Amino acid sequence: MSDTALNLDDEPVAAAPEEADALQQVRPVPRISVQAFCETQAVASTIERMSEDRRMSKAQTRVYMGGLAAAVEFYQTAPTPNLIFLEIACGRDELMARLNELADVCDPSSRVVIIGHHNDIALYRELIRAGISEYMVAPVSLSDLMSTISGLFADPEADPIGRSIAFVGAKGGVGASTIAHNVSWAISTLFENEVVVVDMDLPFGTANINFDQDPAQGIAEAVFSPERLDEVYLDRLLANCAEHLSLLAAPSTLDRSYDFDTNAFSSLIDIAQRTAPAVVLDVPHGWNGWTKATLTNADEVVIVAAPELANLRNTKNLIDTLRGLRPNDSAPRLVINQVGVPKRPEISVSDFSDPLEIEPAAVIPFDAQLFGNAANSGRMLAETDAASPVVATLGQLAHLVTGRSVAVPKHKPGLQALLARLKKS
């Protein structure tokens, strides 16, 4: 559903027959966030109409006036979306200078489409070489805008837009699912990005309880009916937990056995990654073909462990094995949870992490009241006590696993480095 910050008084305008025919060729847009900064009412109206199209129903779209200057000011304090439309009426030199200002506050993963008022082929080529996703010349049509977004995010041959983040416990009962669910919540609220949580513990999954959901369908229908699985079918199985968060829930019943082939979840994860920027995989503690394949192929792996000896042994085995299976990826991230349980002898954080040759990404203290209240009420920790230091720690972990900086640096390496080439031209 679109969410527009610009109120337009114009009545809805039906698309012309030629435009309607062109729109029939456009694929539905996945769960992405789109923001537009316009300088003219004509472009703003067209993007507003686009946000109301059925093919944009999963995307969150906001339209603002003020152009590039407004975008730079806005992103000083707000997270950047998956896609930014910028209407530009200035010349080349001013455009380059302002784009450098945008690069200082724009996340490198955000894609930028410029809508200009000059049909300048040389400028188009320079912008494309510099990393701008597309340069369009106003006036733009509804079909032009939709085709651009579809080409960037809905192309079946394109790389998945979603980052898969797998959470697994070094031992049962260490709170891996709770951490996974709360980090998912943090990603969806901090960055206003769409997140899909996949509860892969079919017999004993707790995501439906933690999110206070009772969906009639979920991951079982997807796994046991692979011939039906596509983006449309997956969308029907998702339960909406919050504005930017959806859940593929486990049935949590024992009415059947859950024995799966090694690649049973591969197509499900691939499709989920084509529909949302972040896919959080809640992997049950265990070691078999499909859990091994899931952890091997995930973009990020987070191991959650408690500070005791069996956890240390299992964590080392997991890290060593995954380093061998993923030689070209970074090492799994370690979260030490339940630190400081009263009267429980435990290994210190340094003694736990030193044999692993890895620094913990997060150390979370034991807080029976905070976690107990949240679990028993079906709420996230941030909903229970937003001021808790644990919530802040989970927010920092959300930045790490999504590849976002905790604080915006003065110079972003992505767009900034690419734009530097323009200065030399």
Nearest to 363 by CA among 330, 383, 388, 340: 340
Distances (CA, A) of 82 to 60, 111, 234: 10, 6, 21
Question: In this structure, are 91 and 184 located in the same domain?
Answer: no
Gap between the Cα atoms of 321 and 316, Å rounded: 8
Enumerate the β-bridge partners of residue 364.
none
Please report which helix (H) or strand (E) contains residue 135, including its range.
Answer: strand 134-137
Question: In this structure, are 70 and 167 located in the same domain?
Answer: no
Cα-Cα-Cα-Cα torsion 85, 89, 93, 98, nearest 10 degrees, comes to: -40
- Number of folded domains in the chain? 2
301 in a structural domain: yes
Q: What angle do CA 15, 70, 417 make, to 5 degrees?
A: 100
Asked if the peptide bond before residue 139 counts as cis, ω within 30 degrees of 0, the response is yes
110 in a structural domain: yes
7 in a structural domain: no
Compute CA 371 distance to the chain's CA centroid, rounded to the nearest angstrom: 25
Specify the residue for token string 């527009």: 4
The bridge status of strand 239-242 relative to strand 245-248 is antiparallel
Domain range for 291: 163-402
Q: What is the DSSP secondary-structure string of 261-278?
A: -TTTTHHHHHHHHHH-SE
Question: In this structure, are 34 and 123 located in the same domain?
Answer: yes
Are 96 and 90 a contacting pair, CB within 8 Å? no
Gap between the Cα atoms of 275 and 32, Å rounded: 8
| Cβ atoms < 10 Å from Cβ of 115 | 28
Question: In this structure, are 128 and 234 located in the same domain?
Answer: no
Q: What is the DSSP secondary-structure string of 24-88?
A: TTPPPP-S-EEEEEESSHHHHHHHHHHHTSGGGTTSEEEEEESHHHHHHHHTTTS---SEEEEE-
Specify the residue for token string 């320079």: 126
345: CATH? 3.40.50.300
Q: Where are the alpha helices (DSSP H) in 159-200?
A: 176-190
Q: What angle do CA 171, 172, 173 make, to 5 degrees?
A: 115
Gap between the Cα atoms of 142 and 336, Å rounded: 50
Whether the predicted model's global pTM rises above the 0.95 cut: no
- DSSP letter (8 states) at residue 77: T
31 in a structural domain: yes
Are 96 and 69 a contacting pair, CB within 8 Å? no
Question: In this structure, are 141 and 167 located in the same domain?
Answer: no
Specify the residue for token string 């000011």: 73
What confidence score (pLDDT) does residue 364 get?
Answer: 97
Token code pair at residue 315: 């964590």
Question: In this structure, are 128 and 211 located in the same domain?
Answer: no
pLDDT in single tens digits along all 425 residues of the chain: 344 454 444 444 455 566 666 665 666 778 889 999 999 999 999 999 888 887 787 788 999 999 988 999 999 888 889 999 999 887 777 787 778 888 888 888 889 999 988 888 888 888 887 788 899 998 998 888 988 888 888 666 666 678 899 999 999 999 999 999 999 999 999 998 899 999 999 999 999 999 999 898 999 999 998 889 988 899 999 999 988 999 999 999 999 999 999 999 999 998 998 888 899 999 999 999 999 999 999 989 999 999 999 999 999 999 999 999 998 788 999 999 999 999 999 999 999 999 999 999 999 999 999 999 999 999 999 999 999 999 999 999 999 999 876 543 333 444 544 454 444 44
Helix (H, G, I), strand (E, B) or coil at 69: helix
Helix (H, G, I), strand (E, B) or coil at 209: helix
Question: In this structure, are 252 and 368 located in the same domain?
Answer: yes
Enumerate the β-bridge partners of residue 198.
248, 281
53: CATH? 3.40.50.2300
5 in a structural domain: no
408 in a structural domain: no
